[in-house]
């Protein structure tokens, strides 16, 4: 009894190969009068991939490699089903012919071996020519299609798809335009992310507000029965939106394909196909948000190691500090033990051998200097008096309530997981070692969630207290003084009146903090420069000292001071320094006492 092999292939998941199988079976039935058996190899994969990247074809080739007489004939509808690459396909055909395995193309009935099982050289030559021509035509078509699509996108056209990125739609002229309703959701997502909310929390906020996803809107329009997937906002969807440069008016496209060993300094677009790379091209498109907002959120995303999460200690300047040397964010480290860390440092120190060299700054010195400078300047207080402090508090409370709900749900699921684990053990489906290890992991997760829930509840309590205490929502000197001993309230005030603080090292005893204030969200052009004397921290008792001055611009790199001949320090170590009075000191150890050994 002869054994035949059928190989069918389509390029994409949404295509179907059943028609190929049916046609080949019909052909075999007409072409053979003897008994036979059929093995079918089918897959959905590009014909340009090598045989080793196609599981079903590899399985067939492995069988005939070990036993060349296992199959009498390989049936295919077209030679292109074996492959699109002429070189790779020719190698497969030559290998099969060498093993005396017939290759039958059912569309035209052509066979590669004659009646004596010798190669049909004339037919093989024709097929090789057709393969080369087909590859050339396919390549030309791809280039023309790509060029056409690119030119269409350059002209602002939306493209042929019925689905567009959230926030956009196709108008009557087939141009890509901003969807007025969805664009407001896009702006909300970016503003929530900039305010320190994680993608999971943002998804929860949108779901709580019952803002429909694109899938939900389509289901309503087309009267489709709702399902779980796609009808709720997810953290993955939010992250994809935040990362998409289209929202700032930059439409990303694949450009020229790079060679395997080609070095390219520009941005590269990678594909699912291993090793395939393209130059990235950006085309202008309608923008939903400003480039500045997109880049601010991108910075948060890329330096998120110390952002967007609750910590045991409230750092007043969290997310406000920027390194004047490398541009990364600063983050706080506090250890309430004798000689423990109490410092804001550049996040570049987290990178192995990647520290930019900028100085760290004592938490209490920096926070106290800012507090004292704000209270000491009547002009500044008058300037900031119209800034609304309570405006963002309800939004913060809403974010915390969503985060609390998410974590409480995860915490409650722990008990269900314990029950399932116990059932598995009692039914002898897992061993005691696996049970103990899983139980320990659940206990650790439970402890982490419990601590996080307590932190969120504490934050909620403090923010609700802010709402209760601040009858007058506008900034005032008394508000600042009353918030001195409440780090959550003081941090909220700082977030409302400070846009950013650029930290730069001046010399071994001085660090500059360039304080950019804002009025109702608009950043002041001229910073308040605070020169912090770090040498005073070594005195006994400690001296918290600084000097302040307004100067146009700020110093973006710490080595500029040493190289700039025109730079003059606003003080000497003997004169010009301000000693911060005790009643204006913001000492982190007063809130989180140091534990003595």
For the annotated catalytic residues, the residue numbers are 11
How far is 191 from 193, CA to CA, in rounded Å?
5
DSSP per residue, 254-272: EEEEPPTT----S-EEE-S
| Closest to 582 in 3D by CA, of 267, 372, 339 | 372
DSSP per residue, 204-264: HHHHHTTPPPHHHHHHHHTTPPP-STTSS--HHHHHHHHH-GGGGTEEEEEEEEPPTT---
- DSSP, collapsed to helix, strand or coil, labels residue 364 as helix
Nearby residues of 106 by Cβ (< 8 Å), 6 or more positions away: 23, 24, 27, 75, 76, 77
Show the CA angle centred on residue 103, arms to residues 98 and 106, nearest 5°.
170
Q: State both tokens at 208.
A: 């709580």
Are 178 and 185 in contact by the 8 Å Cβ rule? The answer is no
Are 323 and 329 in contact by the 8 Å Cβ rule? The answer is yes
| Helices first, then strands: H and E counts in the chain | 17, 20
Largest CA distance in the chain: 110
Phi (first) and psi of residue 38, to 5 degrees: -125, 130
Are 334 and 588 in contact by the 8 Å Cβ rule? The answer is yes
What's the gap between Cα 413 and its chain centre? 27
Strand partners, 361: 344
How far is 289 from 293, CA to CA, in rounded Å?
7
Phi (first) and psi of residue 197, to 5 degrees: -80, 140
């Amino acid at each position: 009894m002869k054994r035949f092999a059928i190989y069918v292939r389509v390029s994409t998941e949404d295509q179907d190969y059943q028609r190929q199988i049916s046609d080949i079976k019909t052909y075999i039935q007409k072409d053979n009068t003897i008994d036979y058996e059929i093995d079918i190899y089918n897959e959905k994969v590009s014909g340009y991939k090598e045989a080793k990247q196609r599981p079903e074809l590899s399985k067939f080739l492995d069988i005939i490699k070990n036993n060349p007489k296992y199959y009498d004939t390989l049936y295919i509808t077209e030679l292109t089903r074996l492959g699109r690459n002429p070189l790779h396909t020719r190698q497969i055909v030559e290998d099969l012919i060498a093993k005396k395995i017939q290759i039958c193309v059912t569309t035209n009935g052509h066979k590669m071996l004659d009646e004596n099982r010798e190669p049909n050289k004339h037919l093989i030559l024709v097929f090789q020519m057709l393969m080369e021509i087909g590859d050339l035509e396919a390549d030309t078509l791809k280039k023309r299609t790509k060029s056409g699509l690119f030119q269409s996108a350059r002209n602002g056209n939306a493209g042929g798809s019925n689905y567009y990125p959230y926030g956009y739609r196709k108008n009557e002229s087939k141009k890509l335009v901003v969807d007025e309703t969805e664009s407001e959701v896009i702006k909300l997502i970016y503003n929530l992310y900039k305010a320190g909310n994680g993608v999971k929390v943002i998804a929860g906020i949108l779901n709580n507000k019952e803002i429909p996803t694109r899938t939900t809107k389509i289901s309503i329009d087309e009267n489709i029965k709702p399902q779980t997937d796609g009808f709720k906002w997810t953290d993955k969807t939010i992250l994809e939106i935040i990362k998409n440069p289209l929202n700032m008016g930059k439409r990303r496209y694949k450009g020229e394909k790079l060679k395997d060993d080609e070095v390219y300094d520009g941005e590269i677009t990678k594909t699912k196909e291993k090793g395939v790379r393209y130059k990235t091209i950006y085309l202008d498109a309608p923008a939903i948000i400003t480039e500045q907002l997109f880049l601010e959120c991108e910075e948060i995303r890329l330096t998120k190691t110390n952002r967007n999460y609750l910590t045991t200690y409230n750092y007043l300047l969290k997310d406000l500090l920027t390194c004047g040397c490398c541009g990364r964010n600063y983050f706080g480290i506090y250890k309430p033990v004798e000689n423990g860390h109490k410092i804001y440092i550049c996040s570049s120190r987290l990178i192995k051998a990647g520290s930019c060299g900028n100085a760290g700054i004592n938490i209490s010195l920096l926070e106290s200097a800012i507090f004292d400078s704000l209270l000491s300047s009547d002009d500044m207080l008058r300037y900031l008096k119209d800034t609304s402090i309570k405006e963002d508090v309800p939004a913060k409370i809403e974010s915390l309530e969503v985060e609390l709900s998410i974590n409480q749900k995860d915490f409650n699921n722990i008990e269900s997981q314990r029950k399932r684990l116990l059932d598995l053990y009692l039914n002898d489906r897992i061993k005691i070692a696996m049970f103990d290890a899983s139980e320990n992991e659940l206990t650790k997760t439970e402890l982490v969630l419990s601590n996080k829930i307590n932190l969120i509840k504490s934050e909620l309590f403090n923010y609700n207290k802010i709402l209760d205490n601040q009858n007058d929502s506008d900034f005032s000197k008394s508000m600042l003084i009353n918030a001195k001993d409440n780090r959550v309230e003081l941090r909220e005030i700082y977030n409302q009146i400070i846009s950013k603080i650029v930290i730069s090292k001046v010399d071994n005893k001085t660090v500059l903090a360039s304080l950019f204030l804002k009025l109702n969200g608009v950043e002041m052009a001229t910073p308040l420069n605070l020169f912090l004397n770090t040498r005073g921290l070594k005195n006994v008792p400690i001296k918290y000292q600084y000097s302040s001055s307004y100067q146009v611009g700020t110093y973006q790199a710490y080595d500029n001071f040493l190289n700039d001949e025109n730079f003059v320090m606003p003080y000497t170590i003997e004169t010009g320094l301000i000693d911060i009075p005790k009643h204006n000191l913001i000492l982190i150890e007063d809130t989180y006492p140091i534990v003595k050994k």
